[in-house]
Amino acid sequence: MFKEVTFAYEVLSDPENRRLYDTTGSEAVGPENEDLELDLSSLGAVNTIFAALFNKLGVQIKTTVSANLLGEALNGTVTTLPLMVGQVVSRKVEKQSAHFYSVTLTEEEAQDGLICKVHSSAKNKFKLLYFDQVENGGLSLALQEDSRKTGKLSTAGLYFFGFPVYRFDHRVNSRALSRDPETGFFKRLDAFQPFEITELKAGSHVFAVYGDNFFKSVSYTLEIFSSAPFGNEKESLRSTEAQIVSKRTELLKFEAEYHEVFAQFTEMASKCTGEVQEIDELLKRRNEICAAYTIFPPTKQGSSKSRSWSKKKSSLLMEPREEGEVAVREEGGVKKKKWYNIQLRQDKKKN
């Protein structure tokens, strides 16, 4: 129900979506709204409260980085804190705000690969951002990774290894998949997509941590370090992700086979149901035929009134007349019989 309310809000809050909904129905705006992201900084207090309530109740609400913040970054008016490779920083950032960090890589460090990870022990929501530097000295958003709760932490990471590294966004088409678990199974790995940037060149690079909580600030720890000591882990990651990509391809083939076999199964199940009903009808007809083989005449049951009258005629009714006299009514007539009713009285006197 809350997911439907969220969908309604997304339609009504956008004039173009509202027009499409009024003219063509929900199917026209559904696919686009699946990927709609909300800028919490522009919602206002009341809408932010409703969004936070829906999110608390399990509705997946995708958020985007504040448009004002992106504009400031593009204009080059944000403050950047320089860091060294291997340095760790713990800070607190306000909601819908960001801390910017710059790191300079040598040729050797760029070849070794770089890892940028952020975690929050308070399980706060945040976004880890990477910016490209444009000609006017501004910053353009190039990569974005939303935090995910893993155990007692919320974490996010960007990996630059020189080969494709994948992200898995479990929220992609979450509403559509929840409506159809069967489709959800086959489309589950569609959200497994590679990062757009696989390696960094020597020079200066800018990262940022964006506070994505609804109301409170975000406490986080940022670490930027070389991937050189993690050679085995890198190869293991490459191998595992290659298997996942292969499995995604296998699912596409399996889906076609599944639907074909399922159609045959549905047809056979329907035929089986019809055969069971037909067999039951034949057995019922056979029992009725067998029950008809008898030489006894059918028994007819009279009404309750007739049965009551028959009992009265066949039984003897004794009707009291006078004291000591009774009449015995028989079927052929009435015959009087006298007898004396001797009443025995107990003496109440004490012996």
pTM of the complete model: 0.64
Q: Which of 4, 2, 33, 3 is nearest to 16 (CA)?
A: 33
Burial class for 11, CB neighbours closer than 10 Å (0-12, 13-18, 19+): buried
| Predicted local confidence at residue 74, as pLDDT | 93
**pLDDT < 70 stretches in the chain:** 1-48, 50-52, 54-61, 170-181, 298-351
* C-alpha to C-alpha distances, 278 to 214, 282, 287, nearest whole angstrom: 63, 6, 14
Q: Two tokens at 237?
A: 């990651």
Neighbours of 128 (CB within 10 A): 22
DSSP codes joined into one string, 7-27: HHHHHHTSHHHHHHHHHH-HH
The arrangement of secondary structure in 69-255, i.e. its CATH architecture, is Sandwich (2.60)
DSSP codes joined into one string, 276-313: HHHHHHHHHHHHHHHHT---SPPP----HHHHHHHHHH
| Predicted local confidence at residue 351, as pLDDT | 46
| Predicted local confidence at residue 63, as pLDDT | 79
| Predicted local confidence at residue 169, as pLDDT | 73
Q: Which of 47, 62, 50 is nearest to 125 (CA)?
A: 62
Q: Where in the chain is the domain with CATH 2.60.120.380?
A: 69-255
Q: Which of 237, 76, 262 is nearest to 168 (CA)?
A: 237
Buried b (16+ CB within 10 A) or exposed e, 214-241: beeebbbbbbbbbbeebeeebeebeeeb
At a CB cut-off of 8 Å and minimum separation 6, what does 302 contact?
none
| Predicted local confidence at residue 56, as pLDDT | 66
Phi then psi for residue 38, to 5 deg, are -105, 135
User: Do 118 and 209 meet the contact criterion of CB atoms below 8 Å apart?
Assistant: yes
Q: Which of 204, 218, 221, 210 is nearest to 116 (CA)?
A: 221
Q: Which of 79, 43, 45 is nearest to 61 (CA)?
A: 43
Give the DSSP letter of residue 273. Answer: H
Round to whole Å and give the CA distance between 325 and 244.
108
Round to whole Å and give the CA distance between 121 and 149.
10
| Predicted local confidence at residue 317, as pLDDT | 45
At a CB cut-off of 8 Å and minimum separation 6, what does 230 contact?
115
| Predicted local confidence at residue 294, as pLDDT | 81
Q: Two tokens at 95?
A: 């909601």
User: Do 86 and 227 meet the contact criterion of CB atoms below 8 Å apart?
Assistant: no
Q: Coil, strand or helix: which one is 350? A: coil
Q: Which of 341, 308, 312 is nearest to 324 (CA)?
A: 341
* C-alpha to C-alpha distances, 20 to 5, 25, 29, nearest whole angstrom: 18, 7, 7
| Predicted local confidence at residue 262, as pLDDT | 87
